[in-house]
Structure 1
Amino acid sequence: ENLKGVGAAVFICNHVNKYDALAVNYALGKRPLKIMVADFNNRPGFLGKMMRADGILPFKNTRACIQKFTEAVNYYLSHGTGVLFFPEGSEWWCYKKPRPFMDGAFHFAAANNVPVVPLFITFRETGRVRDGIDLPEFTVNILNPLYPDSEKTKKENVRDLKNGAFDACMKKYEQAYGAE
């Protein structure tokens, strides 16, 4: 219901597992989506082939790569495709609480005048263990979209979208885990 009327968007999600992009893809259904990943995820072999088939956009912090990445994100957003970012910047295995967000995803939303749709993965313990690792059950919570304000500057929109998305994720965290 929170996706009604939302076309191209910047989706943001906490990064809590190497399979969370798959969970997000499943939750979003047939919605076209590209996924921002660190360049080392663009690997050879079967896993790399599957990740590319899932729509990864590898990012490397070099001038040439940043320019190509920016062009790609702008292209996809202007052609109705969503882009998924993990604004915390790194995966923390099954970490429940939101961590501080970086600006990048929100910059793209403000620059392309598209909404930010916060997604927040919560999980519950199942008691299942494989190879000594607990296997929790994920729930991808699709939160209310946040829209850039045409009366504000890009810098103000980046700040407000980032703070609004973080606050929404924090609220979901508190609701899910009864935490303050």
Structure 2
Amino acid sequence: MIIGDDRERVIANIKRATETGDLNAKVEVGDPVLSLQERKDLVNAFWQEQQSLKGKLNNKVGHTFFNTLARVLTASTTFTGLDNLSDLPRGGAIITTNHFNQIDSLPIKRLANKTHHHLTIAIEDTNLKLPGILSYLMNYVGTIPLVQSTSYISDDFPKHLHHALAQDDWVLIYPEQEMWWNYRKPRTLQRGAYYFAAKQNVPIISTFIEIQTLPKLEKDHPHFEQTKYIVHVLPPIYPDTSVSANIDSKRMLKQDYQQKVAAYENAYQRKLDYTFTPWDIAGWRNK
């Protein structure tokens, strides 16, 4: 699904995934499909272009455009828990949130701007081949593509991540991995973000985005209402260098999941239950 197409098919896939308990399943349709070698070649070309004059110029344009999109498209977004960042040491950090939209990085970009941090985003490699403006954004707003190969994850990705963190960037990593369109509930988390935080000795900035429906239909989708976001900033999670990164990453993951669940239950005033209901999909009128 690219922004708005095939929503009912995606929702059906979400329902099926919850029924099988696979909360990290790929549910999107129409995403680019590439072989491992094609993905490696794509990412190699991406990094080469980042160093070229054309790439640097496009990055300037892309960052300006990204800031404008964040300001315009999330104008109604509100933030809670900003005081949780008051004691956060200056420097790089990994920020985590729930993944429910192709542009759900925009509220996090707003948060980074509020705190005068540059935002870098870890993305799936195939996102570089999304159509139209999404492809441009994936290539030129400050991203680190991730190739699911052992050598890239163990060598290349940590180097690019370290470079961003050394510049005091916040690096957005989606620990739910796959995007579930407008899905309100926090899902089980994968360990990568927390392992990298432990290895790089940087904190996790834990957030949860609440999706509220508005009493106004989307123009081109009569079965869906418009939505707005509330970004809940939760207590940061700090690494513990007295234990191994493997052990510490599990602790950090557990704490982040517990915080996201608590934020969900507080925001929506309901206990977390993965039994699927139409309410799970924000804005869906199910008619």
Q: Which band: TM-score by shorter chain? A: over 0.9
Identity value in percent = 29
Deviations 1:96-147 (A, max 9, x none): 1111100100011000111011111101110222222322111111111010
Does structure 2 conserve the Cα–Cα contact (< 8 Å) formed by 1:8 and 1:77? yes
Residue 147 of structure 2 is matched in structure 1 by 60
Query: By percentage of residues, which structure has more helix?
Result: 2
Gapped regions of structure 2 (runs ≥ 5): 1-82, 272-287
Residue 268 of structure 2 is matched in structure 1 by 177
Residue 16 of structure 2 is matched in structure 1 by none
Identify the match of residue 2 of structure 1 among 51, 62, 84.
84
What is the CA distance between 1:45 and its match in structure 2? 4.7
Does structure 2 conserve the Cα–Cα contact (< 8 Å) formed by 1:16 and 1:94? yes
Runs of 4+ in 1 over 4 A off after TM superposition: none
What is the CA distance between 1:47 and its match in structure 2? 2.7
Residue 14 of structure 1 is matched in structure 2 by 98
**Between Structure 1 and Structure 2, how many residues are aligned?**
180
Deviations 1:63-96 (A, max 9, x none): 4532322210122223311211110111111111
Question: Quick check: which has more Rg, 1 or 2?
Answer: 2
**What amino acid is aligned across from residue 184 of structure 2 in structure 1?**
K
Residue 120 of structure 2 is matched in structure 1 by 34
Residue 195 of structure 2 is matched in structure 1 by 107
Deviations 1:27-82 (A, max 9, x none): 22131121011111113753322233321211111245323222101222233112
1:159 partnered with 2:247: no
**What amino acid is aligned across from residue 47 of structure 1 in structure 2?**
L
Distance in 1, Cα, partners of 2:102 & 2:215:
20
Q: TM-score, normalised by structure 2?
A: 0.59
Residues 126-135 or 84-93, more deviating: 126-135
Residue 137 of structure 1 is matched in structure 2 by 228
Distance in 2, Cα, partners of 1:161 & 1:63:
23
Does structure 1 conserve the Cα–Cα contact (< 8 Å) formed by 2:122 and 2:145? yes
Change (3 A) 1:16 1:45: closer
More relative contact order in 1 or in 2 (CA 8 Å, sep 6+)? 1
Q: TM-score, normalised by structure 1?
A: 0.92
**What amino acid is aligned across from residue 54 of structure 1 in structure 2?**
V
Gapped regions of structure 1 (runs ≥ 5): none
Cα RMSD between the aligned structures?
A: 1.6
**What amino acid is aligned across from residue 100 of structure 2 in structure 1?**
V
